[in-house]
Chain A
Amino acid sequence: MPGIVEVRNLRKSYAKLEAVKGISFEVGYGEVFSLLGPNGAGKTTTVEILEGLRKRSSGDVTVMGRDPEKSMNELRTTVGILPQDFNFIYNITPREALDYYKESLGLEADPGEVLARVELTDSADTVFEKLSGGQKQKMGVAIALLNDPDLVFLDEPTAGLDPVSRRALWKVIEDMKARGKSIILTTHYLDEAEKLADHVAIVNRGVIIASGTPKEIVSMHHKADRIMLSGSDKLQSILSSMQIHHKREGRYLVIESDSIDALFSIVERLKGSSGDIEDLILKRETLEDVFVRMVGEEAAYEN
């Protein structure tokens, strides 16, 4: 069965700059697919091509079996879009905005129900400029969900939000996922992708440098888990005396190993020195660690 979104060898150039250099991926039905990458990696360009907002230079793209460049008008009733930096007319309320989309698209939806789903009922009659950052994003999500879409594009939905607002939006996304919606999530928050996405593609400089489930990516590109220790001045000599290889990173002494069991046995050996230890952090490598290393290595290689 073909995916809800299929991208084959997508390229996009702006004058002499090639922003997307032959990207291919597929998004399955009911899947949360996340495009990760640093600023300027080509994520938003890719998503805007899928949303029918930009023309591609070459390659094949289908969204729900249609070419978005030619059929976006038909797709509008089955696709929801939260663009990057969502904005609206400053003195219009969320309820009025939803009424506008309902009327314009000829939808049967109940704006009140959608506003309740994104937990925006209390601010439904507050004008846009007076909403908080999180509430503005929720309004954008509500607009994206009004047509009960099968596919939702969320382009950096939590950018610039405080932790509480971020988590509130995660809840909304998880709810959408539970309802079986397919979601394309663009973000540069790795924890967000790790928590929400079924599949991830890391984009850097216009190409996909890794893809798979977050777990697959971490295990494929895994280098080392680590123990981070801080404490008394004696701690460094204790580690040296035990012949435990370590390095200093700020106030922490860091012990790395590609085997988590080896790290557990080191913790066991350190039991006798617990009086000299203030902090002991056992940290498995995360998607963020892999991402930073991969993107950093690419940059170092380029340089």
Chain B
Amino acid sequence: MKISRVMSYLKLHSKSFLRSKSGVFFVILLPVLFMVIFGSIFGSSGESKATVAVQNLSGTNESWNLVKVINKTGVFTVNLVSPNENLTSYMAANTIDQGVLIPANFSTNYNLGVVFIKFIYNPSDQVSLAMSQVLQNALLKYYTEGTGKTVAVYPAALSTQLTKPVDYYIPGLMGFTMLNGINSMIYQVPNYREKKIFRQLSFAGLTKPEWLASSTIFYFIITLVSDLIIYLVGRGLYGANISISPENLLMTVLVIFFGLITFMSVGLLAGLLTHNEETASVVGNVIFFPMLFLSGVFFPISLMPSYLQTVSAFLPLTYFVKALNGLMIYHNLSSVLPSIIIMGIASVTLFIVSSRLASRVDNM
């Protein structure tokens, strides 16, 4: 393998890619567009009511009246939490950013004239903190002006970060960019074979391994760029609670690399087994869409019926999304190691199979 030929083709392919409007759209813009759409839907901004988890430990008439007052503000949708549950765990499990804790001695203190209630907010969400002020103003108006009593709100930050739906979409959308690896191969290989462009490139001395190496480098770089944009947009615009710790950074890049090799190999296999672009397009969609919807990219796998969960267990993208969820949201490397190992095995196996088939194909 000659590095100069790999780099020459990399340059040529980069030019071709950057000029291809559809290529740039699908690889860079579409994932960002999805990010913007999902961020807008599931991010914490917007004018809809905020959900607040209310736990009433007092259970008196005065305390239930407070619940009614909160409900009547028109700003909150009240979600009652049983006194037996842990409020913050409930908030985390149900991705609710705001919580109100009504203490057991609420009525006693209320009758004395001043009572404090705890407002728990998500520190990573500025809107969440602002909600405490909204509640305070509402209570001030109702109690102080109406009854002469004071019900004061003291805000307390949630010690553990809450996950939001938008957080889950970031690894999911990174998974979406992996599918570009499939698409790139599935369309390029039959097209180049049909038009004998591989033969023409071979006149420059370019060998099949050199072409494959060059394509892998290109899509690895472009995927990293695309994923970085998704990450930055998700965090910057929609306040996603995700991060990559320095110790997990290398592992995250490795997962992306495994993912890319896996999906490029799947695309290469499909591209080699189809003989023209039209068939390739059908095969591409047959692989692409089920994987997209069954691997946890857009919908949590836990919401699927059990038979679909079984199907998703056979899809490599499932393990990719799981691995990134673990690394970026839960920061728990040990829990996602099995997924990373599965990705590694899948990428090596599929790469060997697809490159061997490529070496046997005549017009490539």
Contact = CB atoms under 8 A, between A and B. Distances in A.
A81 interface: yes
A104 B5 contact: yes
A interface, by DSSP: helix, strand, loop or mixed? loop
B16 A105 contact: no
A252 interface: no
Contacts of A81: 203
B203 A100 contact: no
A87 B11 CA distance: 19
A29 interface: no
A85 B195 CA distance: 8
A143 interface: yes
Interface in B1-46: 4-5, 8-9, 11-12, 15-16, 19-20
A106 B205 CA distance: 10
A97 B19 CA distance: 15
B197 interface: yes
Interface residues of A, number: 23
Given A91-B15, A92-B12, 5 more contacts: A76-B203, A97-B12, A100-B9, A104-B4, A104-B205
Contacts of A170: none
Interface string B194-213: 01110110011110000000
Nearest to A53: B199
A83 B8 contact: no
A76, A85, A87 pick with most chain B CB within 10 angstroms: A87
A89 interface: yes
A127 B15 CA distance: 11
B204 A83 contact: no
A38 B8 CA distance: 39
Interface string A76-113: 10000101011111111000110011011110000000
B12 A106 contact: no
B4 A106 contact: yes
Contacts of B200: 83, 86-88, 143
Contact of A89 (B8, B16, B199, B203): B16
A104 B9 contact: yes
Contacts of B203: 76, 81, 101, 143
A100 B11 contact: yes
B20 A91 contact: yes
Nearest to A107: B204
B66 to A, nearest CB: 66
9 shortest interchain CB distances as A-B pairs: A104-B204, A87-B195, A103-B8, A91-B19, A104-B8, A100-B12, A104-B5, A101-B204, A89-B16
A91 B205 contact: no
Nearest to A103: B8
Nearest to A81: B203
A73 interface: yes
A83 to B, nearest CB: 6
Contacts of A86: 200
Nearest to B362: A54
A4 to B, nearest CB: 19
Given A73-B205, A81-B203, A83-B196, A96 B19 contact: no
B197 A88 contact: yes
Nearest to A90: B16
Given A104-B9, A105-B204, A91 B16 contact: yes
Contacts of B195: 85, 87
A213 to B, nearest CB: 31
B96 to A, nearest CB: 50
Interface centre among B11, B196, B197 (most CB of A within 10 A): B196
A101 B204 CA distance: 5
A265 B15 CA distance: 68
B205 A76 contact: yes
Given A73-B205, A76-B203, A92-B15, A103 B4 contact: yes
A16 B16 CA distance: 41
B343 to A, nearest CB: 31
A143 B197 CA distance: 13
Nearest to A101: B204
A143 B199 CA distance: 13
